[in-house]
A and B are shown apart, each in its own frame.
Chain A
Amino acid sequence: MASPLVRTCGFCVVKLQRGGWFSKYVLISTNTFAFTIVRPTTVSPQSKPTPRKNDPKQRVGVVGLEIHAQIHSNTKLFSGARVQFSAPPNSLVSFFDASLPGTLPVINRRCVEAAVMTSLALNCSINKKSLFDRKHYFYADLPAGYQITQHRLPIAVNGSLSYSHLVGQKWSQAVVKTVRIKQIQLEQDSGKSLHDDTRKQTLIDLNRAGVALMEIVMEPDMSCGEEAAAAVRELQLILQALGTCQGNMAEGQLRVDANISVHQPGDPLGVRTEVKNINSARFLAKAIDFEIQRQIDVLVNGGVVHNETRTFDFKLGQTIPMRDKESLQDYRFIPEPNLPPLIVYDNESTPVNADPQQVINIDLIRVNLPELPSAKRTRLVDQYGILPEHSFVLVSEDGLTEYFVSVLQETKAEPKKVIGWVIKELLALLKQYNLTVSQSHISPSSLAELLNLLEMGVISSSAAKQVFLLMWKECDKSPQQIVKEQDLGLVQNEKILEEICQNVLDGHLEEVTAIKKGNKRVLNKLIGLVQKEMKGRADPIMVKTLLERNIS
């Protein structure tokens, strides 16, 4: 065996040994008269001559997110038109949304409350006085030519969002990270444009114009697509728990734009690009990772990253520059002349004799906040003694916690066993058939019945799994019926078991001798064979005692 310090030069297949001070490797054998002193960086034949920029310090990505969450309300932000996902085109448009002259904005109380609730849930400090501004740009789906937003003084600033990021495969490797929230502001949505390239026209639908959005601007504290996806998932859960946003990315209720740049740690931030048109959390991670890699490649090859807006094409899995955006937009922000400042109050500053419909009280809203996901997870762990990763899964799936609690109420089984069934068996089937918890074929009470049968010892655990699968396929039969029909009840008749055990032992004499010598693990194999004969219905404890008795 050659010593590890001896390497073969890739260029001339000559042996080299670690040399003295003047070179890393020195020639130790020659086949030819050529003599090479090779530097370690060019030992392998695959490496090209690398430029200076490719220094050992790795470039890391810096990701900041801008999230637009559509507020779940009956009407739009500044007009009394209804909000609905799919409706006949231009049927939910008021005169103000169509920006006809003579119309004025009137703000919706529910939207302000929703913004305050979200800000409190994200630990922001609420500005008691916030102002509205106009952001001007020309586009066909913005009929007024400007969007009413909060640029100078938004409703909330300086918050934080904590999320768990799975670094490795196991839960124990999960890290709790925090991303700072720069501000939360209320703004209007624009309409929807459908591009008809064949007839060179765009069809405009203003149903979505004027709907209230909360723009949540995060600081660039994240460094990869996985972290961003985890943060967005946590935000989705929080918004759904509060009821302020339904968080459905596919329906456009939660839109995420990513600002991505790369730099070497310690250096100032690089040029950033904005990536839009990402419609699911999975694509978000892909898009961010692709963009980070693209920027690193551009810089490694000596190029320059341009400040541009790119769109994510999910079919190609790539980001592509957008045609229509000009490089530097001047939005000409002006204060909204038709709207006074928005004042929110707390218990001390609420004016006396004020109309309660006209007063937004932060302290009252804080007291009435529903249970947030993080609090729910810790409560489940404390109350039921389940592991943190289980409570994470319970909270992540819509309706799974309620399912788990209802099963627990009807069964005597321990929470740890129930959680195993709910997460491993039920969730696996739901994922396989792509169903939600509410569409599950097995109701909580049927699962509870099955677990009771298991607890009482009527069936074995492997039989229970078979019954479970049959229950899924035949929804209306109860577990007991299935057990009877399939004759999956636990067999405890000693005579039958004795016979089968003897057959197995007679057929596997080698294993018997191994067990007699002291190798106890082979016993498990024999037990498995007996169970196979009995189709999993044998009482495992009895089988083990019988086998051991017959061997000795």
Chain B
Amino acid sequence: MFYKMACQRPGWSLIRNVTLSLLLRHNNPRQGIGRQMDGLRNLRVGRQLNRAACTTHSCSKVPPTPTWEPVGETPLSLAYSVSPDLMDRMERLALVDFRNHEGVARLQCAITFADQLHIVDTEGVEPMDSVLEDMQLYLRPDTAIEGDCAEVLLRLPTKTVEEFYVAPPGNIPLPQREERCGLKKKD
């Protein structure tokens, strides 16, 4: 009803802004805009209102002033230190070489940064694991529309054998920690 009132009184921009922000505001910050928009989609939207919805500032999700406070470093600085075993395991899993001071320092910063999450009170709140949780998964029909591009694909690697990709035989195991340190010293 508020919506219709806003339609009929184009001059009352303040009312329109307020009603729009009331309607479009979500009670639960996690609940996306999608659900409420479903109901609104069925209403006839006048062209004037459409323009207003696009340009007015109050329908933006970005708050006008910052609402967060920086967390002090002291309670979190030495919360978690990285052991050499953990470093070795992570290098082996991710195959990323970061065994120098810079790498370790960067890792420590990343851990400290993520530790800020521990301050947030998540009692009784269901964890969100994807920002797409309100989107509908599109189901594609079962017809072949891609493929048959072997030439294009095989132009990318430097070496191919009779339209096959070429790889080394099996996984080359990462050398053990001592051997790797030895290799590094040589470089």
Show the binding face of A for B, using Cβ within 8 Å. 73-75, 79-82, 88-96, 98, 106-112, 131, 136, 138-141, 193-197, 200-206, 323-324, 326, 330, 332, 335-343, 357-358, 360
Contacts and interface: CB of A to CB of B under 8 A. Distances in A.
A81 B146 contact: yes
30 contacts: A74-B142, A75-B140, A80-B143, A80-B144, A81-B146, A90-B165, A91-B147, A92-B147, A93-B150, A94-B147, A95-B149, A108-B139, A112-B139, A131-B129, A136-B93, A140-B168, A194-B164, A195-B169, A202-B168, A202-B169, A204-B166, A205-B165, A324-B170, A335-B130, A339-B130, A339-B137, A340-B135, A341-B130, A342-B137, A357-B139
A357 B142 CA distance: 11
Contacts of B14: none
Nearest to B144: A82
Interface string B132-176: 111111111111111111100110000001111111111101000
Contacts of B167: 140-141, 193, 201-204
B132 A89 contact: no
A89 B140 contact: no
A335 B130 CA distance: 7
Contacts of B144: 74-75, 80-82
A340 B153 CA distance: 29
B150 A90 contact: yes
A92 B146 CA distance: 8
Interface centre among A107, A206, A341 (most CB of B within 10 A): A341
A426 B3 CA distance: 78
B142 A75 contact: yes
Given A91-B147, A330-B89, 8 more contacts: A74-B142, A88-B150, A89-B163, A90-B150, A93-B147, A204-B164, A332-B93, A335-B129
B43 interface: no
A204 B165 CA distance: 5
Nearest to A133: B129
A390 B147 CA distance: 46
A89 to B, nearest CB: 5
Contacts, number: 145
Contact of B140 (A88, A92, A109, A203): A109
A196 B169 CA distance: 8
B78 interface: no
A138 B165 CA distance: 16
Contacts of A326: 173
Contact of B138 (A106, A200, A205, A323): A106
Contact of B139 (A141, A338, A358): A358
A473 B154 CA distance: 52
Contact of A94 (B137, B149, B166): B149
B90 to A, nearest CB: 10
B130 A337 contact: yes
A79 B132 CA distance: 20
A340 B136 contact: yes
B164 A205 contact: yes
B114 interface: no
Given A74-B144, A89-B162, A341 B150 contact: no
B95 interface: yes
B161 A203 contact: yes
A339 B130 CA distance: 9
B147 A82 contact: yes
Contacts of A343: 136-137
Given A80-B145, A80-B146, A94-B147, A330 B93 contact: yes
A80 B147 contact: yes
A202 B171 contact: no
Contacts of B95: 138
A358 B136 contact: yes
Contact of B137 (A89, A140, A341): A341
A326 B95 CA distance: 15
A323 B169 CA distance: 12
Nearest to B129: A335
Nearest to B130: A335
A323 B167 CA distance: 17
Interface in B20-58: none
Given A202-B169, A332-B93, A91 B148 contact: yes
Interface centre among A81, A112, A332 (most CB of B within 10 A): A81
